[in-house]
Amino acid sequence: MAHLIDGKALAAAISERVAAEAAAFRNAVGRAPGLAVVLVGNDPASEVYVGRKISQCRKVGIISIEHRLSADTPMADLIALIDRLNDDTGIDGILVQLPLPGHVDAGLVLDRIRPDKDVDGFHPVNVGRLSTGTGGLVPCTPLGVMTLLDSVVDDYRGLNAVVIGKSNIVGKPVSMLLLEREATVTVTHIETVDLPAITRRADIVVAAAGAPHLVRGHWIRPGAVVIDVGITRLSGEDGKSRIVGDCATHELDHARAVTPVPGGVGPMTIACLLANTLQAARDSQA
């Protein structure tokens, strides 16, 4: 049986550290770290994610201020809100939940966030810093993926890492972080030919395709480490829905370690958001 990497436990440890450091920040600075969360429209999944982010902030002593805007909010109003939050000295982090409604140019909105308050790490300045290995705020899910990997991998040098998916939110930043650790990185995507032949050579597989049970047992070589970033809600024949990942985990007994879904990457994303908000708060005092 492959070792299951416990994302809930690792996330709880990060949250505990953030709580202690947020309290120290409050004592030193006279205010708690502050996160603004902007939700435009009422996408049901986004509502759930935003609700979780806010309740976790509360638990660790980060002030979170939610800005809920209707789906038809004009672009100019959204930009004006970002500008206000950029100038607000009580706000250390700004998070605009994606996806945004169709009429909103997400690129323009994300570019407007001050890079030092960009706790999602999506601003081009932070993307550039990540790709040049020069600091900055790192996107939360990739940071979570690397923390999960670090719990079982000591030395990445020379390992073959295969990333499935080339999204800006996960695939590309994870590949940069793996490169930084001197793994040999292959990024694959929907047009990749013979993906199983590529994953079979991998010591590390990060599956972020959003395709339920894409990665089968025979895709993975014995002893590999598999991180499953997928979260797809499927409705079962009994009418109940369940969350499944990108990997057929029940076929991966020969792997060295795998992350479960749920309970793997998901909790880490929120814990890393808390850590990024604390980092932004501290950096604002430097």
Residues in contact with ligand GUN by the rule CB under 6 A: 95-98, 120, 140-141, 169
241 annotated ligand-binding residue: no
Phi, psi dihedral angles at 226 (to 5 degrees): -125, 120
Catalytic residue among 120, 203, 228, 246: 120
Judged by beta carbon, residue 96 or residue 183, the one nearer ligand GUN is 96
In the complex, minimum distance from the CB of residue 99 to ligand GUN, in angstroms, rounded to a whole number: 7
111 catalytic? Reply is: no
166 annotated ligand-binding residue: yes
Judged by beta carbon, residue 95 or residue 161, the one nearer ligand GUN is 95
198 annotated ligand-binding residue: no
How does DSSP assign 76-108, residue by residue? HHHHHHHHHHHH-TT--EEEEPSSPPTTS-HHH
Coarse DSSP helix, strand, coil percentages of the chain, rounded to the nearest 5 percent: 45, 15, 40
53 catalytic? Reply is: yes
Catalytic residue among 53, 56, 228, 246: 53
**How many whole angstroms separate alpha carbon 245 and alpha carbon 258?**
11
- Torsion angle in degrees (nearest 10) through CA of 249, 251, 254, 257: 0
- Tokens coding 86: 């950029």
Judged by beta carbon, residue 160 or residue 167, the one nearer ligand GUN is 167
Judged by beta carbon, residue 100 or residue 149, the one nearer ligand GUN is 100
**Of residues 256, 265, 204, 257, the one with CA closest to residue 230:** 265
Using DSSP's 3-state secondary structure scheme, residue 234 falls into strand
120 catalytic? Reply is: yes
113 annotated ligand-binding residue: no
Strands, E assignment, the chain:
3-4, 34-40, 63-69, 93-96, 160-164, 184-188, 204-207, 225-228, 232-235, 241-244, 257-258
172 annotated ligand-binding residue: no
Judged by beta carbon, residue 168 or residue 241, the one nearer ligand GUN is 168
**How many whole angstroms separate alpha carbon 160 and alpha carbon 145?**
16
Q: Is the peptide bond before 115 cis (omega within 30 degrees of 0)?
A: no
**How many whole angstroms separate alpha carbon 234 and alpha carbon 170?**
22
For the annotated binding site for NADP(+), the residues are 165-167, 190, 231
Active-site residue set: 53, 97, 120
